[in-house]
Amino acid sequence: MQVIVEGLALAATRLAGSGFGDPIITSITKMIARDEARHVGFGSVALAGLYDGMTSKELDEREKFLLEAVHLMSRRFLLREVWERMELDVEKGVKFAQTDPMMFGYRQLLFQQVIHLLRQLGLLTPKLRDLFLTENLARPEAFRNLA
């Protein structure tokens, strides 16, 4: 889970830093991105090689966990709770979040970092690839060289 949450946080803060015109906000988001990069780096180092010696049952458990975690994080980006709180038509809001080109692209940019980290750790499986593609979190070319 750390890899998913920290990977998304790193990508989000990097994107936010480039999107604001205010130099103070840009500076703050750069510092936050640097901190998130340390978290991602630590996670990568701590987990490197850990999965190499696991049994297929242990790897299946991790895969199931990752499938659920990615699915839940994907749903958060449809902003259902935001639409409800603003007392807007929830289904229209979700449809907007799913189809708006800017939001679509934003989700794909964020999840690129997660895909990279999972690939690096040897946890990017065909089932995860299929989930990323089904939920429109990535384009097929993100999975080149995946068996």
**Could you report the per-residue pLDDT of 58-111, keeping only the tens digit for each?**
999 999 999 999 999 999 989 999 999 999 999 999 999 999 999 888 889 889
The residue assigned the tokens 């978290």 is 39
Is 2 a residue whose pLDDT tops 80?
no
R_g over Cα of the chain: 17
**122 Cβ partners below 8 Å, 6+ apart?**
51, 52
